[in-house]
Chain A
């Protein structure tokens, strides 16, 4: 069974090579079909392996395959090896499944773009790298995938690189990620130094019994978390994600919502044993997660670009996931990761459909009243916003409430996490329905701008419909005990995740069900309140919005300008760094480096100018020198 494992990554790699090398001989359609088929192949293999898994008892659900030795250096032998267990199974299915729908959607969305073959080859490369990331059985291969998805993210954000702002957004994403990746690399070195191996399972086995101080685990996990903060756009490194919306919308859906940005959550879940040994790090993860969730949600309220709203909402939802893993509820984090991939992928594709219908318009103020023109997009997006808001019965409800419950049941004074989480849930419901209402209801502002909106072709709407179904049904794999379920999702992942002592996972297993139901009721009321408020402000009394903005004054300006974080970073980090770089350029590079290089050039020119005088051109000089040489050789031989 394990021998088919390599096929999961092989298909997208082939797709990348075909589209990348032979793309010029393919038609636009063929290119899209090849890319989609490649991802379909990965999906089918993953699905087949998962089905085989479900038939096995829990402790036998592990497949490994070692392909070849990659970096054999002394004692270190890094292998290209894959590991398929419940956690990577979930991830591989999300990546290839949602990825497949987005590939198909792209065939319609990217139609007519001159770079469509390049687009599909990058998309396949991304899928290949992401699958490597989730299937890797050692941290170095995982890091390869980690960097690979970062590269593809850069390439696809700057896909329309003729536009300088978009090219810059790509660079910003790449550079901000680099800060986090540096932390990841240092963590790898520390782990290798301590354990002499980089295999994830070997480290997980050795770590709990090792005679190592807590400080080591805290430092290592904090460095890993730094990597996760960069990749998953958490405070303080979240600034690249809103700019990343410069890429094509399906890219935002695939990379910047459903898969790549969740890699940080996966990293923590994958190394849950290490993180469980570092309670200090866990608290930091949870706190940063909830602050990010709240903070990003408050920005999302006032943004006018439909994709920016979704970007901040992604940051906010990622914050929830980090809160979950931070309180030790690893499976809840992965659960939310999965449902988020469904509904956020759906929302981005829906937004893409709107943008497509309006010929590239992204401003909410130019939309409104599109319900009639875009019927399928309208109702699928309704499902999406309801799921993300957490309407009972949809996927987002189950995963979000599992996180909130885990946060609440975390003792040691962490119940404020729950409070912040529930406030954020209310804000989320408000801003998501704000987006929805401003797009599909109210005054049809697009008429003034002269747009003629049209529904997207079926190649785009079918993925929307499928994702809508997933957004509804995706939660039913993890119904909590309080609602009469058995939370199969949690039990499926249980064997590969650490149990964080005393909290989270353990508490979810033995809930006081009445309390949990009460909390669900509270969150539902808060969410419905948020939705009603959005309805009042944006449908019933459209003038109310401006009044509110006026009355909120300072708060509104702060939120609208994203708390001036970009400006602050620019002033405090980018500018000093540029000044330093310029100083080094003018002094060190020009004076010292160029001086040394040019100086040695001049020196050689001068020496050769002196030496060339022996080249007299007189044949007899040369003959004399040959004779002298012969005489010297003879003397030498004679002495010898």
Chain B
């Protein structure tokens, strides 16, 4: 049985929306960060789906690149969060307002 393309795309869209909502409304920096990862993986899923659908391997190559990038980004992002916590004693981003006018 082949799962139809639009099922997968709808699932990817759902995942992406969950990620967006998480980024926009959660306060814990780590959760926000995880939400970003969910968005990335939603995109990955869409890539793989299209790759299968079109019989073109390029999409899967993209996915590998994105995963590599995401790994690097996690390293940097976590470092930022740790350093923020060290300096401000909080990981609640609604309290971190250093860029306020």
Contact = CB atoms under 8 A, between A and B. Distances in A.
A612 B94 contact: no
A620 B93 contact: yes
Contacts, number: 30
Given A612-B101, A613-B101, A618 B24 contact: no
Given A620-B93, A620-B94, A615 B101 contact: yes
Interface in A584-640: 612-613, 615-620, 623-624, 627
B69 interface: no
Residue of A612, A616, A617, A619 ringed by the most chain B CB atoms within 10 A: A619
B97 A620 contact: no
A618 B97 contact: yes
A615 B99 contact: yes
Contacts of B23: 620, 623
> Main secondary structure on chain A at its contact with chain B?
helix
Contacts of A612: 101
Interface string B30-66: 0010000000000000000000000000000000000
Contacts of B97: 616-618
Nearest to B96: A619
A620 B25 contact: yes
Contacts of B99: 615, 617, 619
Nearest to A608: B101
Nearest to B36: A623
Interface string A177-217: 00000000000000000000000000000000000000000
Contacts of B94: 618, 620
B13 to A, nearest CB: 13
A354 to B, nearest CB: 76
Interface in B61-101: 93-94, 96-101
Contacts of A624: 24
Residue of B97, B100, B101 ringed by the most chain A CB atoms within 10 A: B101
Contacts of A623: 23-24
B20 interface: yes
A619 B100 contact: no
A616 to B, nearest CB: 6
Contact of A627 (B24, B32, B98, B100): B24
Nearest to A624: B24
A616 B25 CA distance: 15
A618 B96 CA distance: 7
Contacts of A627: 20, 24
A547 B20 CA distance: 111
A618 B25 CA distance: 11
A617 B100 contact: yes
B18 to A, nearest CB: 14
A615 B94 CA distance: 14
Contacts of B32: 620
Contacts of B101: 612-613, 615, 617
Interface in A36-84: none
A620 B32 CA distance: 10
A619 B93 contact: yes
A617 B97 CA distance: 4
A619 B32 CA distance: 11
Interface string A133-147: 000000000000000
A197 B32 CA distance: 77
Nearest to B98: A617
B93 to A, nearest CB: 6
B51 to A, nearest CB: 23
A615 B99 CA distance: 8
A615 B101 CA distance: 5
Nearest to B97: A617
Interface of B: 20, 23-25, 32, 93-94, 96-101
Interface of A: 612-613, 615-620, 623-624, 627
6 contacts: A612-B101, A613-B101, A618-B93, A620-B24, A620-B32, A620-B94
9 smallest A-B Cβ distances: which pairs?
A617-B100, A617-B97, A615-B101, A617-B99, A612-B101, A624-B24, A620-B24, A619-B93, A623-B23
Given A620-B25, A623-B23, 11 more contacts: A613-B101, A615-B99, A616-B97, A616-B100, A617-B97, A617-B99, A617-B100, A617-B101, A619-B96, A624-B24, A627-B24
